[in-house]
Amino acid sequence: MGPCVIRRKRPRRKDPGSVLVILFGHRLHLFVTAAMLAWGLAPCGFVPAGAAETAEPRVPYEVALRVQTPDGGSEDDLKSGLEAASSLRALAGDPPATRSGLRRRLESDVAAFRKVLRADGFYDATVSGSIGEGAPAQVAVTVEPGPRYTIAATRVVYRDDAGAESDGLPRSLAEVGLTEGQPARADAVLTAERDLIEHLRARGRPFAEVADRRVAVNHARRTMAVRLEVAAGPPATFGPVRYEGLERVEAGYLDGHIPWQPGAVFDSGRLDAFRNAVLDTRLFDAVTVRPADAPDADGRLPVLVSVTEAPPRSIGGGLRYATDAGPGARLFWEHRNAFGRAERLRVDLDAALTAQSLSLDFDKPRFLHPDQALTASASIERSDRDAYSGLEVEVGAGLDRRLSDTWRASAGVVVDYADLDDDEGPRRSYLVGLPLGAARDDTDDPLNPTRGTRLTAQLTPYAGQAGDVTLGFAVASLGGSAYWAPLESDRLVLAGRAGVASLMGAETEDVPATRRLYAGGGGSVRGYGHQMVGPLDAGGDPLGGRSALDLGLEARIKITETIGIVPFLDAGMVGDGVWPDPGADDILWAAGLGARYYTDFGPVRLDIGVPLNPRDEDDLFQVYISLGQAF
């Protein structure tokens, strides 16, 4: 394409007709321009996008950062902090257009490095930089930190409180951890400020705040002095608690969760404890706890609690399937605030081919003690299992006590009536039991634990009548499980469990079939039918026993965030002796593979187990589908 010549034309007056010509000519010019671009040509006066950048070459570069070992510090730690503040490194993939632009980046880094060094206590540091010739350009930055300055003295003065000294308020930052001789780091000073204010607010000064900060650096002594001016505010004690948003929950119930006594010295940390306690009741969607704007004339500071109540009722259900029991379904209805004080009432209806049950559970928290709950339950079940069939009714009540964040203990009484047909024929039984239990749980999730351990111990003595036999016996059990994630994430979780149980004081045939010990099934030795591990009668039905051993090991492997596989190995035995005896009774082994679909409410489980040393009565495999992990 030849050179472009532009000639100036004498302006002339436009008539109305010329406007149409101009508009048409403008559109024609756009059409011609587009056509020329399509053929790789450029019209006069047109600069394609990116042409300027192409015409002006970039200046690629490489950066070398040299840091001398600082006095009183680590070269690696200091170097990593400098690299994080470097624009030369951050923009290395986008070189500047000129060497002047590269020089500006270097000057920016020198200023940023000096700021980082001062914040880390190096006030005599030297930072220099140079740009060499060549392509790419060699950029060198040299840092000489010099000696690190230390804290010489700290002082706290109170702007509006003449009695601060007599009240025992801190006069220096040493009381909150910033002492003489420590490195003069900026973050240490700011942390001490926050700790000082928290210290004051936890000791009756809810409105304390820093009014001014002065820092003096002595280059001759290489020290730094800090002086804080604090507005401590008036002293205060806890006043009345006022609630907003309560509808169904009684204020008196929440008063029982208050972790302070009226008139106690105000402590802001206890407000957080109160908020967490109220949230733990599961009665509220939102809870805000804050002090009033000012104390009253007597120095009492009211506490304002604003809540949004959660719906108290819920209804739900689930489906399951197992080859040994067939399909099953469960429906439940729950009320979490039955009488205004967080009483929980739950009704469960469970139906499967082998058993159908209806149960009622009631919990009343804070019964006679803040960490104690009253529990009551009633259930009726009709069953048609291989081991027995018939009707069972059970009613019980007890106390559940939280001993610590991980330990709980329980005690109660249970009354059991059964009309069953088992290996001894049809008979009725009446039993009274006194269940005692202790449990420890520090796992991170009830349905899908990845870390921690669980331990349970139970002892239940029974007395009553079974057919024509008057009997007394006791059932003791000890079980535990452990979870370990060897990687930093939960992509792999190794889980193991073990349990042992013993029935003492009566012969197996005298004990009602529902109270004997069994193993096998989806929550026990997978691969064997429900209750099928142990002795069998002539028809291949389980007899149960007086001792049981149950073991399990599995690897929970996540393939994606929602899909996982679980290879597992289970083992168990049931014997007629009081204690498990692997020498006298066979241990049955099973292995299998499971799949997991992880949801917000827990994993959906599919397990396929295969017996490794099956008997003639055992199936080739078992399939289990349910919600939650096997243990």
The residues, ordered by sequence, that sit 6+ positions from 619 with a Cβ below 8 Å of its Cβ are 323, 324, 529, 611
Q: Is the pLDDT of residue 610 over 70?
A: yes
Out of 61-75, 140-154, 456-470, pick the least confident: 61-75
In this prediction, residue 72 carries a pLDDT of 58
Q: Is the pLDDT of residue 3 over 70?
A: no
Helix (H) or strand (E) holding 289: strand 284-291
Whole-angstrom distance, CA of residue 58 vs CA of residue 93: 11
- Tell me which amino acid residue 463 is: A
- Residue % of the chain over a pLDDT of 90: 75
Strands, E assignment, 353-491: 355-364, 372-384, 389-402, 407-422, 425-433, 436-441, 452-466, 469-484
In this prediction, residue 535 carries a pLDDT of 92
Q: Is the pLDDT of residue 414 over 50?
A: yes
In this prediction, residue 161 carries a pLDDT of 58
In this prediction, residue 376 carries a pLDDT of 98
Helix (H, G, I), strand (E, B) or coil at 39: coil
Strands 425-433 and 407-422: antiparallel
Query: What pLDDT digit, counting tens, does each position of 157-203 carry?
Result: 998 655 445 467 899 999 899 999 999 999 999 999 999 999 999 98
Chain centroid offset of residue 365 CA: 25
What's the topology of domain 237-309? Ubiquitin-like (UB roll) (3.10.20)
Helix (H, G, I), strand (E, B) or coil at 581: coil
Q: How confident is the model at residue 447 (pLDDT cuts 50, 70, 90)?
A: confident
Query: What pLDDT digit, counting tens, does each position of 217-258 carry?
Result: 999 999 999 999 999 888 999 999 999 999 999 999 999 999
Whole-angstrom distance, CA of residue 450 vs CA of residue 130: 53
Rg of the Cα trace of the chain?
39
Whole-angstrom distance, CA of residue 178 vs CA of residue 156: 12
Q: Is the pLDDT of residue 33 over 80?
A: no
Q: How confident is the model at residue 17 (pLDDT cuts 50, 70, 90)?
A: very low
CA-to-CA dists, residue 462 to 475, 511, 577, angstroms: 8, 10, 19
What DSSP string describes 209-274? EEEEEEEEEETTTTEEEEEEEEE-----EEEEEEEES-SSS-HHHHHTT--S-TTPBP-HHHHHHH
What DSSP string describes 459-494? EEEEEEEETTEEEEEEEEEEEEEEEE--SSSSSEEE
Within a 10 A sphere around the Cβ of 90, how many other Cβ atoms?
Answer: 13
Smallest Cα–Cα separation from 342: which of 332, 334, 330? 334
Half-sphere exposure for 64 (CA within 13 Å, toward CB): 10
CA-to-CA dists, residue 612 to 3, 456, 527, 587, 591, angstroms: 90, 29, 9, 11, 7
CATH class of the domain at 150-231: alpha beta
| pTM summary value | 0.70
Is the domain covering 61-144 a CATH 3.10.20.310 domain?
A: yes
Q: What is the mean pLDDT of residues 421-440?
A: 93
- Of residues 54 and 101, which shows the higher confidence score? 101
Q: What is the mean pLDDT of the chain?
A: 88
Smallest Cα–Cα separation from 201: which of 324, 104, 291, 84? 291
Whole-angstrom distance, CA of residue 139 vs CA of residue 146: 22
Q: Is the pLDDT of residue 477 over 90?
A: yes
Rounded to a whole number, what is the distance in angstroms from the first to the last CA of the chain? 81
Residue with token string 């492997």: 557
Whole-angstrom distance, CA of residue 411 vs CA of residue 399: 6
Smallest Cα–Cα separation from 116: which of 154, 155, 156, 83? 83
Assess contact for 123 and 186: CB atoms under 8 A: no
CA-to-CA dists, residue 600 to 96, 152, 222, 440, 471, angstroms: 49, 54, 56, 25, 48
Q: How confident is the model at residue 425 (pLDDT cuts 50, 70, 90)?
A: confident
Chain centroid offset of residue 610 CA: 35
Smallest Cα–Cα separation from 394: which of 377, 419, 374, 412? 377
Helix (H, G, I), strand (E, B) or coil at 569: strand
Q: Is the pLDDT of residue 12 over 50?
A: no
Helix, strand, coil abundance in the chain, percent, nearest 5: 15, 45, 40
Whole-angstrom distance, CA of residue 358 vs CA of residue 378: 8
Backbone dihedral region for residue 306 (phi beyond 0: left; psi -120 to 50: alpha; all else: beta)? beta
Out of 151-165, 194-208, 583-597, pick the least confident: 151-165
In this prediction, residue 584 carries a pLDDT of 67
Q: What is the mean pLDDT of residues 425-445?
A: 95
Assess contact for 126 and 141: CB atoms under 8 A: no
Within a 10 A sphere around the Cβ of 613, how many other Cβ atoms?
Answer: 11
Comma-separated ranges of CATH 3.10.20.310 domains in the chain: 61-144, 150-231, 237-309
CATH class of the domain at 313-627: mainly beta
Whole-angstrom distance, CA of residue 120 vs CA of residue 346: 59
Q: How confident is the model at residue 21 (pLDDT cuts 50, 70, 90)?
A: very low
Residue with token string 């499971």: 594
